[in-house]
């Protein structure tokens, strides 16, 4: 691509590319079909690359090369149904694709125009099988801003991004807005950082511009480390729409007076890294990065730095320390990064989702963005919905949407007729939300008020089979493992918390230990150096607050109500139901089950390891947890 120097040149590319992209966006029938196949991490792991290869073979075989385009996209969002394939302009939605399905679809649908019903998504509306992704209950209450291009464009083609108004916002700020105009727009929009803390984005940019106005260098950083268990929002944006982050970082660079940006991305995200490298190369070639962008005197470039594999590097000062080539440990604040950040120069750091909102805010205005959400939490929020839920995947909803709407309507409810027990938001830094708060509007302040937090957007759903003490222990184990060890409250305190939780799950604790547990939680919150340590006790405190009866059952009754904690569990054979078939005995890996054929068998509790193999193999329901 030639270097783009003017708005006319940008619009010429937009006009040409729009002819292709509008087949998908506006369902314009230009005589060709676009077959979009998810190329995100989830669908790739399920074999979407093989599906694309088979599509190419069958399209060639059927003489359709001039009539069908195959586009590898980012994540569509509905990960539970992957690999996903959508045919435009019809918008026909095929789910759970397999290589063996492709010949029939190519022959019937792509060649003869007859969709293959048996491979369509099975959800029905008024008796008709849903044919379009946008018609599903999963999408009906979503509003996609950060995810607007994901699953719709090729992330490896800058022209498709330009067709969707890409780099228009950058041109607007460079040619018609001052630095203060940009910052005011972001301030007025009410955008708060989507990385967890919820600090006003415009305020952060304003501080970086004004605190050290004569700095010889300033930096713009992007946190794409995303270490929370179950979180994959930022990864999906990078895989599906990498240029939106590059454009937003350039806008931020102009606003604060920076010329260099760094994206700190997890090395465990190979697809995201590959597409970022492609996007950066294309943006440089097109003149959207580099010297004198759009013929102005503004220059800005971006480089990648791969994450060091540590959760603590998601903390802003630890991330910057890691970019500098040092061990990723947090630094005391103040001074804050806006004054002394990367290489001790003024720096702003936002996460991927935060940046993904910026171009649309610039193009549509602050009032447009502020019209969505709640009074103090504007816009939309992306959640990675996982756990005990039908529709696992990516969800973007306006702030203020209730947890019930996300779980029951968008997520499709809890599988297997189980009851909702809790939802964990904010990962290891968040808390568990019980059923009585299902109808609370989700925003930063409401979640903090009930003992949780927004975090980066992981949302893990749990049912009645989950033990909340065990859940708290799981997150504490993660925090202990990921602590950098720099400060004693986190290094030692979280380890002591984990030991106390282990003691409780083994039935060895006393009621006095519960008091010590809570007291230690508050000590760590008040004294840890960085956000990782300060929020580490949240899963413990929230479960103590809402599920203290489970802690008491573990301590007083020496029982785990959910039947999860093995030390408090016994598996028994009911004599009146046992038929003496011996299958349980044959399957037991440790020889703990003995008996005579056609007579009730019994379990040696000293040998039993509570693995549950006998229960899963018994055909008569004779083996139960006790």
- For range 357-378, the mean pLDDT: 97
Max CA distance (Å), the chain? 89
Q: How many CA atoms lie within 13 A of 17 on its CB side?
A: 19
Q: Choose among 37, 13, 162: nearest CA to 93.
A: 37
Query: 3-state class of 624 per DSSP?
Result: strand
Q: What is the mean pLDDT of the chain?
A: 93
Is 18 within the bounds of a domain? Answer: no
Q: At what angle do helices 493-505 and 511-527 cross, to 10 degrees?
A: 160
Strands (E), 266-311: 301-306
Evaluated on CA atoms 377, 383, 387, 392, the torsion sign reads positive
Q: Rounded to whole angstroms, how far apart are CA atoms 565 and 297?
A: 64
In a domain, 23, yes or no: no
CA–CA gap between residue 192 and residue 226 (Å, rounded) = 17
pLDDT score at 132: 73
**In this model, does residue 140 exceed pLDDT 90?**
no
Query: Which tokens go with 70?
Result: 């195959």
* β-strands 602-603, 92-94 pairing: unpaired
Q: Are residues 47 and 123 in the same domain?
A: yes
Q: For tokens 């602590």, what's the residue?
A: 483
What 3-state DSSP class applies to 104?
A: helix
Phi, psi of 124 (to 5 degrees): -120, 150
User: Where is the domain boundary, 436, 463, 490?
Assistant: 463
Do 315 and 173 reside in the same domain of the chain? yes
* Per-residue pLDDT tens digits for 403-416: 999 999 999 999 99
Residue whose structure tokens are 């059927």: 62
Whether 301 and 199 map to the same domain: the answer is yes
User: What single string gives the DSSP state of each residue in 7-37?
Assistant: HHHHHHHHHHHHHHHHHHHS----S-EEEEE
3-57 per-position pLDDT tens digit: 999 999 999 999 999 988 988 988 888 888 999 999 999 999 999 999 999 999 9
For residue 161 the two structure tokens come to 């991004």
Q: Give yes or no: residues 401 and 353 share one domain.
A: no
- CA–CA distance, 68 with 31 (Å, rounded to integer): 9
Overall domain count for the chain? 5
CA 128, 130, 132, 136: dihedral to nearest 10 degrees?
130
| Top-confidence range, 159-163, 312-316, 446-450 | 159-163
Tell me: do 215 and 350 sit in the same domain.
Answer: yes
DSSP state of 620: S
Place of tokens 């083996």: 623
> Rounded to two decimals, what is the model's pTM?
0.91
Q: How far is residue 164's CA from residue 13's CA, in Å, rounded to a whole number?
A: 11
141 domain residue, yes or no: no
Is the domain of 452 the same as that of 473? no
Here the CATH number for the domain that contains residue 246 is 3.40.50.11540
Does the structure show a pLDDT above 60 at 125?
no
């Amino acid at each position: 691509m030639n270097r783009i120097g003017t708005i006319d040149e940008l619009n010429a590319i937009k006009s040409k590319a729009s002819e292709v992209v509008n087949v998908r966006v506006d369902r314009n029938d230009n005589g060709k079909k676009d077959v979009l196949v998810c190329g995100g991490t989830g669908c790739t792991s399920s074999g979407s690359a093989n599906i694309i290869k088979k599509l190419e073979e069958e399209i060639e075989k059927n003489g359709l090369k001039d009539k069908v385009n195959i586009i590898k996209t980012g994540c569509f969002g509905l990960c539970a149904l992957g690999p996903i394939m959508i045919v435009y302009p019809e918008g026909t939605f095929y789910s759970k694709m397999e290589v063996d399905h492709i010949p029939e679809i190519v022959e019937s649908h792509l060649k003869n125009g007859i969709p293959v019903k048996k491979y369509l998504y099975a959800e029905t509306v008024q008796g008709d099988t849903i044919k379009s992704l946008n018609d599903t209950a999963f999408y009906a209450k979503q509003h996609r801003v950060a995810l607007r291009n994901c699953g719709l464009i090729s992330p490896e083609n800058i022209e498709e991004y330009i067709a969707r108004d890409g780099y228009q916002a950058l041109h607007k700020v460079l040619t018609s807005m001052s630095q203060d105009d940009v910052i005011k727009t972001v301030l007025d929009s009410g955008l708060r950082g989507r990385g967890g803390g919820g600090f006003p984005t415009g305020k952060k940019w304003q501080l970086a511009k004004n605190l050290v106005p004569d700095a010889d260098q300033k930096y713009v950083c992007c946190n794409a480390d995303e270490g929370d268990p179950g979180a994959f929002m930022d990864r999906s944006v990078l895989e599906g729409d990498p240029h939106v982050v590059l454009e937003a970082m350039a806008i931020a660079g102009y606003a604060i007076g920076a010329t260099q940006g760094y994206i700190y991305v997890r090395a465990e995200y190979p697809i995201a890294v590959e597409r970022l490298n492609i996007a950066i190369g294309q943006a440089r070639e097109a003149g959207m990065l580099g010297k004198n962008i759009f013929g102005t005197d503004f220059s800005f470039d971006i480089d990648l730095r791969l994450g060091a594999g540590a959760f603590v590097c998601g903390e802003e000062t630890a991330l910057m320390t890691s970019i500098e080539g040092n061990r990723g440990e947090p630094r005391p604040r103040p001074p804050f990064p806006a004054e002394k950040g990367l290489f001790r120069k003024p720096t702003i750091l936002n996460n991927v989702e935060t940046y993904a909102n910026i171009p649309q805010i610039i193009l549509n205005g602050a009032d447009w963005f502020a019209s969505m959400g709640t009074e103090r939490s504007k816009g939309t929020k992306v959640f990675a919905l996982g756990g005990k839920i039908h529709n696992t995947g990516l969800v973007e909803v306006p702030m203020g949407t209730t947890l019930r709407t996300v779980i029951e309507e968008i997520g499709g409810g809890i599988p297997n007729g189980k009851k909702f027990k809790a939802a964990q938001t904010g990962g290891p830094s968040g808390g568990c939300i019980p059923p009585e708060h299902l109808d609370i509007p989700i925003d930063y302040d409401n979640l903090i008020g009930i003992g949780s937090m927004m975090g980066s957007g992981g949302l893990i759903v749990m049912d009645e089979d989950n033990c909340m003490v065990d859940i708290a222990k799981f997150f504490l184990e993660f925090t202990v493992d990921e602590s950098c060890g720099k400060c004693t409250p986190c290094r030692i305190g979280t380890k002591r918390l984990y030991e106390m939780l282990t003691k409780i799950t083994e039935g060895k604790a006393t009621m006095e230990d519960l008091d010590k547990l809570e007291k230690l939680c508050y000590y760590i919150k008040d004294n840890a150096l960085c956000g990782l340590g300060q929020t580490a006790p949240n899963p413990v405190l929230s479960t103590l607050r809402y599920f203290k009866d489970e802690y008491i059952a573990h301590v007083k009754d020496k029982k785990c109500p959910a039947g999860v904690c093995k030390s408090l569990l016994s598996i028994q054979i009911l004599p009146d139901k046992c038929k003496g078939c011996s299958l349980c005995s044959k399957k037991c890996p440790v020889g703990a089950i003995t008996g005579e054929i056609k007579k009730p068998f019994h379990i040696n509790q000293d040998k039993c390891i509570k693995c549950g193999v006998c229960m899963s193999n018994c055909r008569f329901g004779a083996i139960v947890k006790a």
